[in-house]
Amino acid sequence: HVKESGRNSILQYSEELEESIRRRKVLSQQLLSAVINDEFEVHYQPILASDSLKVAKLEALLRWTSPSHGPVSPAEFIPLAETSGSIVSIGSWVLRQVCSDLSRFRAEGLELTAAVNISAVQLMQPGLTGLLLSLLAEYGLPSSSLELEITESVLVSGDNILSSLQGLRSHGLRISLDDFGTGFSSLSYLRRFPVDVIKIDRSFISEMTLEPQGDVLVKSIIELSHNLGLKVVSEGIEQAAQFDLLRRLGSDELQGYYISRPMQAVEIYSFLSQNNLIFAKK
C-alpha cells in the first residue's frame, strides 16, 4: 500500500512538474508576440503623501491576458520574459504607454508622476537612458515625472549598474529601491548606490501590527533612510492600523489595497476626485 501510494505521488509530482514546464514554455512563447498582439495593459496604483494624504504618484503595474490562459500575474510572467529576453521590448512598451498616459493626464490638467518597475535585464541594456530621454521629449514630460523602481538583486548584479544609475539620475530621473529588505544586499548598499527612495516590502508591513515590537524593523528602516537623506514608501498597506502607524512613524508615502487597488488609467480621474473626500479628512 505504502509503496503504491508513494509511486502514485511520485507519478503525480512528475505530471505536475511536466504540466508546469509546459505552461511556462507556452507562456514564454506567447510573450514574444504579446506586444504586437496588444495583449498588455498598464494599471496604476495611487501612492499617497503621508502628510497631505494627496496622491504623490502612481505605480505602473503591467497586466497581461494570455490568449490561451487568460490573465497571468506579473509575478509569473515577468521572470519568463526576463529569461527569454522579451522583457526588453515589453519594458519599452510599458515605458511608452506610461509616458503616453502621463501626457494624457497632463492634457487634463493633472501633473502626475509615475513609478515604473525596471528589470535588471532592461537596466543593463545600453539604450535605456536614450530611450527614456527620447520618450520624455516625445511626450513633453519633465524627467521628474518618472521614477524607476529597481530591486536589490539589481545592485548585486554588477559594476556597470552603478554608472548606469548615476547616468539616469544625472538626467533627473529618480531611482527607487523596491521590495527593500527581501533581497541579498546589505544596508551598506544604501550608502554606496545612488537611490532616492526606498520601498519597504509588504512582508515587514504585515508583520508590523501582529506582535508587540513588530514595528521595530520598520521604525529602524525609516530612521536609517531619513538619516541617509532618502524618502520612504511603505507598500502593501491593507489595514487602517498599519496606515495610521506608518504615518506616525514618518513613512513619507503610503501604498496598498487599503488606499486603493491598481486600476485602469481612466479610473484615476474618479479616484482623484474622491480621494479628497476619502482621505483628506482622516
- State the residues that interact with Mg ion by CB under 5 A: 117, 149, 178-179
Nearer to Mg ion, 30 or 255 (CB): 255
Contact present, 136 and 146 (Cβ < 8 Å): yes
Point out which span in 11-19, 26-34, 116-124, 152-160 binds ligand C2E (CB under 6 A).
Answer: 116-124
Contact (Cβ atoms closer than 8 angstroms) between residue 51 and residue 38: no
User: DSSP string spanning 94-115?
Assistant: HHHHHHHHHHHHHHTT----EE
CB of 110 to Mg ion, least distance (A): 21
Report the distance separating Cα 201 and Cα 138, nearest Å. 34
Q: Are 116 and 147 in contact, with CB atoms under 8 Å apart?
A: yes
Residue closer to ligand C2E, measured from CB, 18 or 41? 41
By CB under 6 A, the count of residues binding ligand C2E is 23
Say whether residue 48 binds ligand C2E (CB under 6 A): no
46 near ligand C2E (CB under 6 A): no
List 27, 34, 72, 78, residue binding ligand C2E (CB under 6 A): 78
Question: Cβ of residue 124: shortest distance to ligand C2E, in angstroms?
Answer: 13
Q: Does 98 bind ligand C2E (CB under 6 A)?
A: no
Contact in structure between 168 and 132 (CB atoms under 8 Å): yes
C-beta closer to Mg ion: residue 30 or 117: 117
> For 66, phi and psi rounded to 5 degrees?
-75, 140
Contacts with 272 (C-beta within 8 Å, 6 or more apart), sequence order: 55, 110
Chain contacts with ligand C2E (rule: CB under 6 A):
45, 61-62, 73-75, 78, 91, 94, 117-119, 149, 178-179, 202, 235-238, 256-257, 262
